[in-house]
Amino acid sequence: MPPAFPERAAWGTASSLRAWQQQALETYFAPPHESGPRDFLTVATPGAGKTTFALRLARELLDRKEVFAVTVVCPTEHLKRQWAESAARVGIRLDPEFSNGQGKLGKEFHGIAATYATIAARPALHRNRTEMRKTLVILDEIHHAGDGLSWGDAVREAFEPAHRRLGLSGTPFRTDINPIPFVQYEEGPDGIRRSRADYTYGYGPALADGVVRPVIFLAYAGEMRWRTRAGDELAATLGEPLTQDQMAQAWRAALDPKGDWIRQVLAAADKRLTEVRRGVPDAGGLVIATDHEAARAYARMLRSITGQGATVVLSDDPTASKKIKQFNDSEDRWMVAVRMVSEGVDIPRLSVGVYATSTSTPLFFAQAVGRFVRSRRRGETASVFLPSVPVLMEHAAQMEAERDHVLDRPRREGDGLDDDLLKEANRKQDSPDVGEELPFETVEASATFDRVLYDGGEFGTHAAPGSAEEEEYLGIPGLLEPDQVAQLLRRRQAEQLAAQRRRRKTGDPEQDRREQRTAAENLHELRTQLHGLVGAWSHRTGKPHGVIYNELRAACGGPPVPQASAEDLTKRIAKIREWATRRR
């Protein structure tokens, strides 16, 4: 039976469970812990329904009288209120306004919902509360408990005496080597310890089950020109090979409200939202901005594009939670947030996103994309617009890859996961995050549709904003099954390439044949061929696409697929064919 049907996935309830949630519950109460283990770590992809699972488990433990109190710890103020509202729907009363100065909890409550910062401020107080009654502690996004030794030590001190502890995470990977409290680590054959989840439900299985939406990434390149403090004028093309400094400055020029790039991308995203709303009438869009100034500027652009105002959520706004709830309950088109709406915030109707921030860690990217993947009914698709920047292209291509928290390795080794940047991303941003001032002044920034990334493959060729080629991709229906999305993308790319060949015909057959094999087309064909082979290998081995791409890159060398040369791609095609032959 499909896990979301029939009527088994009612959002915010504990009486109807998805198949993975039921399986996780059965795992929790399986022998030798029929009454439940003391510690249990559940890793489930964003949007899969971790809250529903946790509250059903809490209700079960309360009804069995295994526990008499519940404490939920989460990263933000908004999330603790969200938890309290969801718990109330299943008869668990949590106080989201409990403060450390309050002392005792009101008798009408089963427990509290608090932030990690609140616990860290007075761990002894919360240890005393935990010792007074048999308590279930739910540690939401538990990787935050490893944010430095002070937070980890405080969480360990406060909840060491807890009768039951449930860890939840959608993105349990970190770069530092601080162990996360109450998480088990196992040593692998290489001598490195990695976190071990008791139950895991990844994006790939969730997508196959219809629990989350497929994500279409629409990448935009473009021409950028900027002036340095010294008065020198520089130019670069986003989407082409650049040095690290050139890429950083071109990226920031693209996101600068003074240029046309962001306006053109917002206009394209709004067209996409209009198409999605044909099948999903209340679909909403979210722009994740870098700073307050940019957020307000983007909101003004959206008003000029749509004729409607956008909800602006800023990190220091005391009414942020209220605004998020109002937006979720409305049918308004757009919300603009300063990166803070990235983790755990539940707005199921979000279907279109614009990644307009220079934060590039895999953790933040996964959390941001997680805002769009919650599925309410089969067939809904999510669309995320982003700059054609190598690091983002790699993250998008590896949506299915799963990571564990790794100990026993040098800090910042190789994987690009940077939690300091993540903290910076979620704190208040009043000005651009490029030091105290921008290192350049944007002179010109224009957008070009680059390509679509979906399920590890790339589709489409360069097209001007507003062109028929771009419209072909912006007009993809908002209600499609994952395999239908792939079929449609392949067909549209084939039609686009055929049209380009027809336009290039000169009357000289030999020249026409040469023109039909441009370098760009050759790369696209090689990428398409590689994607097909990876898909077949994934079907045969059961490995996620992202894992296979990583194995090919490790075996053959070279950059990620979006930046790989024809030679790199040819080597990987030969290698995967070699694997297939050897396996037969």
Q: What is the pLDDT of residue 496?
A: 76
10-14, 30-34, 162-166: range with lowest mean pLDDT = 10-14
- Cβ atoms of residues 171 and 164 within 8 Å: no
Q: Tell me: cis bond preceding 509? Omega within 30 of 0 counts.
A: no
pLDDT average, residue stretch 272-291: 94
pLDDT band at 512 (very low <50, low <70, confident <90, very high): low
User: Exposure of 153 by Cβ count < 10 A (0-12 exposed, 13-18 middle, 19+ buried)?
Assistant: middle
Closest by alpha carbon to 23, among 37, 3, 38, 39? 3
Closest by alpha carbon to 131, among 194, 87, 68? 68
Does residue 72 sit in helix, strand or coil?
A: strand
Task: Output the average pLDDT for the chain.
Answer: 82
pLDDT average, residue stretch 227-242: 84
Q: What does the block give as tokens for 70?
A: 């519940």
Task: Please give the torsion angle defined by the CA atoms of residues 155, 141, 288 and 253, in that order, rounded to the nearest 10 degrees.
Answer: 70
pLDDT average, residue stretch 22-48: 90
One-letter amino acid for residue 136 of the chain: L
One-letter amino acid for residue 354 of the chain: V
User: Alpha carbon of 151 to those of 48, 71, 182: distances in Å?
Assistant: 27, 17, 13
Closest by alpha carbon to 208, among 481, 533, 399? 481
- Cβ atoms of residues 226 and 443 within 8 Å: yes
What gap in Å lies between CA 120 and CA 447, rounded to an integer? 45
pLDDT(13) > 50: no
One-letter amino acid for residue 558 of the chain: G
Q: What is the pLDDT of residue 177?
A: 61
Residues with Cβ within 8 Å of residue 296, at least 6 apart in sequence? 312, 336
pTM, rounded to two decimals? 0.73
pLDDT(315) > 60: yes
What gap in Å lies between CA 192 and CA 502, rounded to an integer? 56
pLDDT average, residue stretch 315-337: 88
Q: What does the block give as tokens for 295?
A: 């957020």
What gap in Å lies between CA 358 and CA 131, rounded to an integer? 44
pLDDT band at 406 (very low <50, low <70, confident <90, very high): very low
Residues with Cβ within 8 Å of residue 109, at least 6 apart in sequence? 93, 94, 95
Query: How does pLDDT run across 490-505, given as a tens digit for each residue?
Result: 888 888 777 767 766 6
Does residue 563 sit in helix, strand or coil?
A: helix
Query: How does pLDDT run across 422-480, given as a tens digit for each residue?
Result: 344 344 444 344 333 445 789 899 999 998 988 877 888 788 888 888 998 999 998 88
pLDDT band at 185 (very low <50, low <70, confident <90, very high): confident
pLDDT band at 385 (very low <50, low <70, confident <90, very high): very high
Helix ranges (H only) for 330-439 are 362-369, 390-397, 419-426
Q: What does the block give as tokens for 293?
A: 């100034």
pLDDT band at 361 (very low <50, low <70, confident <90, very high): confident
pLDDT(343) > 70: no
101-115, 119-133, 138-152: range with lowest mean pLDDT = 138-152
pLDDT average, residue stretch 132-157: 85
Q: What is the pLDDT of residue 286?
A: 96
What gap in Å lies between CA 263 and CA 356, rounded to an integer? 11
What gap in Å lies between CA 352 and CA 454, rounded to an integer? 15
φ, ψ dihedrals at 512, nearest 5°:
-60, -40
User: Alpha carbon of 264 to those of 65, 110, 270, 481: distances in Å?
Assistant: 58, 50, 10, 29
Q: What does the block give as tokens for 43?
A: 């890793």
pLDDT band at 413 (very low <50, low <70, confident <90, very high): very low
pLDDT(298) > 90: yes
Which helix (H) or strand (E) covers residue 456, if one does? Answer: none
User: Alpha carbon of 525 to those of 458, 517, 560: distances in Å?
Assistant: 10, 10, 16
More confident: 495 or 88: 88
- Cβ atoms of residues 392 and 238 within 8 Å: no
pLDDT average, residue stretch 123-131: 95
Closest by alpha carbon to 572, among 582, 560, 581? 560
- Cβ atoms of residues 62 and 77 within 8 Å: no
pLDDT average, residue stretch 393-407: 63
Q: What is the pLDDT of residue 463?
A: 84
Q: What is the pLDDT of residue 321?
A: 80
The residue written with tokens 């004729």 in the block is 307
Q: What is the pLDDT of residue 123?
A: 94
- Cβ atoms of residues 452 and 216 within 8 Å: yes
Q: What is the pLDDT of residue 46?
A: 84
Query: How does pLDDT run across 565-580, given as a tens digit for each residue?
Result: 888 888 988 888 888 7
- Cβ atoms of residues 274 and 284 within 8 Å: no
Closest by alpha carbon to 213, among 369, 106, 80, 321? 369
What gap in Å lies between CA 399 and CA 321, rounded to an integer? 29
- Cβ atoms of residues 66 and 51 within 8 Å: no
Q: What is the pLDDT of residue 310?
A: 95
More confident: 527 or 473: 473
- According to DSSP, the β-strands at 440-454 and 457-459 are antiparallel
One-letter amino acid for residue 444 of the chain: E
Does residue 468 sit in helix, strand or coil?
A: helix
